[in-house]
Amino acid sequence: MLADPAQAGDKELSMTRRCELTGKLPMSGQLRSHAENKTKRTFRPNLCEVTLISDALQRKVRLRISAHALKTVEQRGGLDAFLMKANDEELSQRCRKLKREVKKAQTEQATAA
């Protein structure tokens, strides 16, 4: 049986081995032996299930991101700062929605202050 198309679109991106923040995907390459034999292999990103805290939204967000992206989030000063600086094409659909929510929350905080 086919699932609802609206639900299938959400699951399609979440099932791939893809970083939700940087868009890193598996790469293909070759193993090379001492005798220079070539064997196909894949280089997969080091994905981690992490829970990050959004300061603007005051809630936790669970994401599947690469270890490299986690270091970058810490370097930029948190999830909100990373999302504001990130390119929309790299972000997953969930992260784009999160970015819009953070932007909206930040403008509401600025107008209230």
Q: What is the pLDDT of residues 55-70, one digit of tens each?
A: 999 999 999 999 999 9
Mean pLDDT for 15-27 is: 92
DSSP state of 87: -
Distances (CA, A) of 62 to 48, 93, 98: 10, 14, 11
Residue 53 in any domain: the answer is yes
pLDDT digits (tens, 9 = 90+) for 75-108: 999 999 999 999 999 999 999 999 999 999 999 9
Residue 40 sits in which domain range? 18-108
Residue 43 in any domain: the answer is yes
Residue 9 in any domain: the answer is no
CATH number, domain containing residue 78: 2.30.170.40
pTM of the full predicted structure?
0.79
In the chain, what percentage of residues exceed pLDDT 90? 81
pLDDT (0 to 100) of residue 16: 82
pLDDT (0 to 100) of residue 112: 86
Number of domains composing the chain: 1
pLDDT at 31 over 50: yes
